[in-house]
Amino acid sequence: MSAHSYEEIEASAGRIALPPWPFLETCAAALEQGTDSIAAFRQVLADGDASLKQRFADDEPVEALVRDRARLVDIVLRRAWSLHVGAREKDVALIAVGGYGRGELHPCSDIDVLILLPKTDLDDGHEGLEKFLTFLWDIGLEVGHSVRTIDDCQRESAADVSVATTFIEARLLSGPERLFQAMRRALGQENIWSSQAFFEAKVAEQSARHHRYHDTGYNLEPNVKASPGGLRDIQTIGWVAKRHFGAETLDELVGHGFLTASELRKLRQAQAFLWKVRFALHVLTGRREDRLLFDHQIRIAKMFGYEDASYTLAVEQFMQRYYRTVMDVSLLNEMLLQLFREAILADAPATIVPLNPRFQIRNDYLEITAEDTFARHPSAILELFRLMQDHPEIRGVRATTIRSLGRHLWLIDEEFRQNPRHHRLFLELLRAPNGVTHEFRRMNLYGVLGRYIPAFGRVVGRMQYDLFHAYTVDAHILFVLRNLRRLALPRFEHELPELSRLMSAMPKPEIAYLAALFHDIAKGRGGDHSELGSVDADSFCLEQGLSRYEARMVAWLVRNHLTFSVTAQKKDISDPKVIQEFARQVGDQTHLDYLYLLTVADVRGTNPKLWNSWKASLFHDFYERVRRVLRRGLEAPVDHEELAAETKAHALELLEREQVTPEAAAGVWARFNELYFLRHSPAEVAWHTRLL
């Protein structure tokens, strides 16, 4: 029998040689003594896990730990195979697949193996295989196994790209090399899953996975492995590269021209950090846990040495590093998959459509016309996003342009921010009829938004450590912007018809959008974030060329963005004095309308579970009561009799449509006192009356 040693795999993959782990030699020697004692194997595994945990606590590089965990399992499996299978079934191969095949194991990672049979079954019924699998269970090693022939592998791989992906990372542990190579040939792209088909399937698979996590990696309890920007996104890059280019490691993508050295370094650093977080999760929980739950976040932050600062908790600092890492992975994943698409799917000369001297469309992607475009025309940085809004047929920004943009972010300095042309471009982005949400998210991902609005840059990746908010501050802000945009677009008016009508009537919707951008921008600075944010908003709006009234309106909305929700939910809105006081605070109908819209967008963007029909009804009722007071005029005192009479009059209008006569209504209302008509809206009074 021949097998690939771990060192051979490392060398063939071009990985940097890892320093020896002395324990492995001790482990191998102990198991090679010929014993098949379950206790001996259990002891080796327990000692190995304890050693890895101690090395992790000593802050050894996690890359060495995940490789050594795989090495340890290699030794145990090979020895167990030799004892129970090897001599009896020489034509059967033991193959590591999946993450274990890559040689990457965390403390509680799945250990997946394939037992590969020759085409013709053996006569002895594979008694040794049964003993081998039972033995693994007895020693406490949970191994996911499959027993297949080459034909089985080919058939199942052809039917399911995830199975094919598992076999792409196969590594021979023990058994005949010829059988292993025959399997690899049978699963080659000339037989199943061509490069094109494999690429498209993996992109679709990634898109579906992202959708399961609401297309955001900035959930406050993310999945380190599966959420957007997590380890699975890095693995997707590796799978496509291996299938099409035969690249065993990400390093080889530099040689192929897909990655720069600095991008490779950033990707490696991101993978190492995410590996470290995942390793810590397994150590803390003692099981395969990939979710960064709140309790785990606190313990890992302490484990990693973070300490509370004046205005930020240790856990907030740790999670901000996590979210910024996720952002790096997401950007690199987008760039690489786009470059792969060009290399794998492009089978015809490029189609180029000029847009202006600075930009053109190449094969449905926007690109700059020259490498020095951003250096010669800094305004092109913002113009890029405007062109994306004006040309919805464009699929995205070309990877080479994203890369060039990243190298020129330094151009967005104070002089850039004070340029009137840039002010106009920024406001055009907000006022565009389409693509506002998409392009502001793209601006955030590419690092432009945080440079243009430095206060926003400080909250990128900042978590809000509570059970109320479900997303990071920057993600929440952009969700609020999205919610306002949906109210402004006719195709979404079925969601909240009344609010959509209100939004469509607003003369300057960009005021609401700017309030959304600034309403939480001062989180984490200490003090009242509403007051601090309103100062930032006022200054920014004046710089952008808005009028004094508009700037004050935005600042007022930021300062008061919580008051509508707090008043509606924590005070007695049936009390006319509460309504009068709030009406006096908002001052006029325009302020009320903007605040109502911002409040609903904010609550819906905080946590999907917080918005419900009860809250919608509560907010609507509060809004209507305040609106009626504003319509009567603030200077007049609250007249209970007048308010009750007005409620009755509106209720009668509604009842007449239902063929309920005023006499019949009066008979019902005789049972109620004045307080009833002060506490209920006309719609509620009409509903109750009709039922009675």
Classify residue 438 as exposed, middle or buried by CB count within 10 Å of its CB (0-12, 13-18, 19+). middle
Average pLDDT estimate for 396-414? 95
Percentage of the chain exceeding pLDDT 90: 64
Q: Which amino acid is at 388?
A: M
Residue in the block written with tokens 């033991």: 94
Cα dihedral 478, 458, 382, 368 sign: negative
Q: Which pLDDT tens digit goes with each residue over 363-373? A: 899 999 999 99
Q: Does the pLDDT of residue 286 top 50, yes or no? A: yes
Instruction: Look at residues 203, 77, 56, 51 and name the one whose alpha carbon lies nearest to residue 129.
Output: 77
Q: Does the pLDDT of residue 12 top 50, yes or no? A: no
Distance of CA 91 to the CA centre of its chain: 46
299 touches 284 (CB < 8 A): yes
pTM to 2 decimals? Answer: 0.83
Q: Does the pLDDT of residue 11 top 50, yes or no? A: no
Average pLDDT estimate for 73-99? 88
313 touches 465 (CB < 8 A): yes
DSSP 168-207: HT-EEEES-HHHHHHHHHHTSTTTSS-HHHHHHHHHHHHH
If you compute the radius of gyration of the chain from its CA atoms, what whole number of angstroms results?
32
Q: Does the pLDDT of residue 2 top 70, yes or no? A: no
Average pLDDT estimate for 251-265? 88
Q: Give exposure, 217-256, as e/b (b: 16+ Cβ within 10 Å).
A: bbbbebbbbbbbbbbbbbbbbbbbbbbbbebbbbbbbeee
Measured CA to CA, the distance from residue 156 to residue 170 in angstroms comes to 15
Q: Which amino acid is at 306?
A: Y
Classify residue 450 as exposed, middle or buried by CB count within 10 Å of its CB (0-12, 13-18, 19+). buried
Average pLDDT estimate for 245-259? 85
296 touches 285 (CB < 8 A): yes
* H or E element that contains 396: strand 396-397
SS3 594: helix
pLDDT of residue 13: 40
Residue 265 has φ and ψ, to the nearest 5°, of: -60, -40
668 touches 677 (CB < 8 A): no
Q: How confident is the model at residue 455 (pLDDT cuts 50, 70, 90)?
A: very high
pLDDT of residue 521: 95
Measured CA to CA, the distance from residue 189 to residue 241 in angstroms comes to 13
Measured CA to CA, the distance from residue 404 to residue 372 in angstroms comes to 8
Residue 24 has φ and ψ, to the nearest 5°, of: -65, -40
Q: Count other Cβ atoms within 10 Å, centred on residue 657.
A: 8
pLDDT of residue 466: 61
pLDDT of residue 469: 72
Between 4-8, 344-348, 577-581, the lowest mean confidence (pLDDT) is in 4-8
Instruction: Look at residues 475, 489, 511 and name the one whose alpha carbon lies nearest to residue 435.
Output: 489
Cα dihedral 384, 385, 391, 394 sign: positive
pLDDT of residue 683: 82
Instruction: Look at residues 237, 198, 316, 322 and name the one whose alpha carbon lies nearest to residue 272.
Output: 322
Average pLDDT estimate for 124-133? 78
SS (H, E, C) 508-525: CHHHHHHHHHHCCCCCCC
Measured CA to CA, the distance from residue 499 to residue 620 in angstroms comes to 9
Q: How confident is the model at residue 9 (pLDDT cuts 50, 70, 90)?
A: very low
Average pLDDT estimate for 533-557? 95
Q: Which pLDDT tens digit goes with each residue over 300-321? A: 999 999 999 888 889 999 999 9
Average pLDDT estimate for 516-534? 92
Q: Which residues pair with 114 in a beta bridge?
A: 95, 146
Residue 113 has φ and ψ, to the nearest 5°, of: -130, 155
* H or E element that contains 598: helix 589-606
Measured CA to CA, the distance from residue 528 to residue 520 in angstroms comes to 10
Residue in the block written with tokens 């000593």: 58
Q: Does the pLDDT of residue 346 top 80, yes or no? A: no
Measured CA to CA, the distance from residue 28 to residue 453 in angstroms comes to 58
pLDDT of residue 90: 80
pLDDT of residue 689: 87
Distance of CA 384 to the CA centre of its chain: 24
Q: Which pLDDT tens digit goes with each residue over 599-642? A: 999 999 887 778 888 999 999 999 999 998 888 776 544 556 76
Average pLDDT estimate for 419-445? 96
Percentage of the chain exceeding pLDDT 70: 93
Q: Where are the beta strands (DSSP E) in 212-363?
A: 352-354, 359-362
Q: How confident is the model at residue 14 (pLDDT cuts 50, 70, 90)?
A: very low
Q: How confident is the model at residue 124 (pLDDT cuts 50, 70, 90)?
A: low
Measured CA to CA, the distance from residue 625 to residue 582 in angstroms comes to 10
Measured CA to CA, the distance from residue 68 to residue 105 in angstroms comes to 8
- What letter would DSSP give residue 83? I
Q: Which pLDDT tens digit goes with each residue over 663-689? A: 888 888 888 887 777 667 788 888 888
Q: Does the pLDDT of residue 89 top 90, yes or no? A: no
pLDDT of residue 120: 60
Q: Does the pLDDT of residue 71 top 90, yes or no? A: yes
Distance of CA 208 to the CA centre of its chain: 13
Q: Does the pLDDT of residue 67 top 80, yes or no? A: yes
Residue 571 tokens read as 């005070």
